[in-house]
Structure 1
């Protein structure tokens, strides 16, 4: 994809809506495309001493042989020496919103990968949102004395800004994350110009996909800014993006129904004067199983406390 860096005479506003699933999978794909990127962030941002590995491999993300689907992570990697011996493992989780179930699943991911690889393992949480980053950094107490998991969270405030074109061309995936984090900041010109330089040197399909990911996450003012650096407007171009646009449209009706059902559960409880804690409200509103929500609506008419919904 050739992109010319000159001022655009038109200022048409790009207003695009992409399903969160696309944004989530797009960010995960950045790490799949560059398996060594997670280790570089652990070393550069968090100051961890990573082993002297010679190869990085993508690992299976099923963290239980059997059990509920929530024990499937986003992406995991192992670093190994030239003989194939595992030296370290990294679980990478992309988080777009607060989800209290993660305090149960993240320790499972980390412990399972550690047992599988038989080497030290790390949890890296990546989010484009500062409030989600603050939430994700909360220590997770496992109960056993001195066993506390403190997630390593790469939020926008810690994301390294890629302003050098040569670095961006060598690491286009880092340039994408940099643009998402800093497109509204004082280095916006530099990070967006570096992004464009990276996309010009990336193969066509990947460059389109990366551009889609950036555009789907930018603020309106940042989209304006990016337009000023380009010659034409843009529509979602990549096959990757079109797949998730189609899925988002197909799922739109189902999502609307689950949202309405979750609202009904909370409304019934409120009408009966039953207190609903933030954790319970989050559990209800984040549920995507319409059958489960229908069950909760019926129970909400009978229960004495909100906790009884789940028993």
Structure 2
């Protein structure tokens, strides 16, 4: 049933014509090795893989991918994941792609056809969650109904103009939530905000609204707050000594002192401020 195509490679054109599918006739044919075994280990990792038992007794394999930008190589990788999971586990695979950027989400949601356009062999169609279809939740009551969904929604809307209201609704609910449940969510949102400006906003909200929580992020914020407070007081001391001695402090020097966040440097400037003949002299050895 297959060997005849090796002896008559152009037979495919006549078979497809008989089947009503129009393929261009080949101008040349190369017979390739039939062994598709991987000759060396090839590392492929899905971000998260879950086996879901369902009410209808049909287990489902759920692969979850976090996608930050368009990647033309991803659809082929996702198709490989689906094929591999089906082969290994003999369970139906599903792919969920989570995005923070609308353009990336819409790109990921497009069905991708593999094979010739006359007769696509495979169709990849992931389910996509992103800012284009996830709810914008700014009502604490809605957050309280489903804290996990609200958390994912907040992460996907990291660049939304309403992100401050979204995150504020989260802290309003987390304030009255047990630390065992709230702390992991605080960390998930902190990581999910990535390098977006909302990350710094979340840190400030955690420091103010959730100051009583003991989590790695909250402890880090408190340490930063203590360091900032120490630096601010040290800068005030340097300026106070110079003013007390009647030393004029130019605006440039004043800004340099007040913007310095290193307490050790400020203590060094404070010692020099006691004897320096001018404000600029406290920086003389730098």
TM-score bracket, normalised by the shorter chain, equals: 0.3 to 0.5
Q: Which has the higher contact order (CA 8 A, sep 6+)?
A: 1
TM-score w.r.t. structure 1 length? Answer: 0.45
Larger Rg: 2
Q: TM-score, normalised by structure 2?
A: 0.48
